[in-house]
Structure 1
């Protein structure tokens, strides 16, 4: 028996939401650790509250802010909504920073989220352009 405890590395796995099939194993592709948490963070930000059945409070509602008057508080509200949502619904991510650049002429925002996966030391950045579809 060793005097040092055995530390198991935690591995986070999620299905790929594209539901692609691996060409060799013929199974669904799996996202692991940083990629899994990054996809989850992006899905949380893109989900509106009330959009998921039986989970009415899950989501971020930042799309509703895209058509508001562009003042100095709009970016702060988007950043606050994203920060609150990730801290509440994604325990695997340790949020480091959120940046939003609102583009009022396009009714869109350029969002950059930097976080660290709980069992990792490497920082991960998710960057996407949030725009109104309809």
Structure 2
């Protein structure tokens, strides 16, 4: 099955392969890296595309309460629907990391539109400074 439609590009974060060339990633790995890039980029961080990224970074130092969790979940869903057209976001769950009050784990379940492959990833979000 030809899966070129999933894309190929530089690996994120950028790396050099053992042969000295720029390392690349493709298929589902590229989509996962794209999701991490979207979630790791704060809005207004890119001067030429200020709306790119996710609004969760505006919530650093917010109280760890259900309202903040709901805002994080909505912001993640909005960013992925807007900037990752290759997937359908199935669920976004935000939970506190066991034993770490300052970390929220954002679990994203998604489906690749072109081939219905399901995937998920967990993005750690540090809501307050280290303790």
Q: TM-score, normalised by structure 2?
A: 0.82
Larger Rg: 1
Equivalent of residue 97 in structure 1, options 85, 91, 95: 91
Kept in 2: contact 1:46–1:60 (CA 8 A): yes
Answer with 83-92 or 14-23: which moved more: 14-23
Kept in 1: contact 2:42–2:55 (CA 8 A): yes
Displacement after TM superposition at 1:107 (Å): 2.9
The equivalent residue for 2:101 is 106
After superposition, residues 1-134 of structure 1 pair within 5 angstroms as 9=3, 10-24=5-19, 26-102=20-96, 106-131=101-126
Unaligned 5+ segments in structure 1 are 1-6
SS across alignment from 1:100: strand
Displacement after TM superposition at 1:133 (Å): 8.2
- Aligned structure 1 segments of 4 or more residues deviating by more than 3 angstroms: none
* Structure-2 separation of matches of 1:93 and 1:11: 10
Change (3 A) 1:91 1:130: same
Q: TM-score, normalised by structure 1?
A: 0.81
Q: What is the aligned residue count?
A: 126
* Structure-2 separation of matches of 1:56 and 1:108: 26
Unaligned 5+ segments in structure 2 are none
Change (3 A) 1:74 1:132: closer
Answer with 72-81 or 114-123: which moved more: 114-123
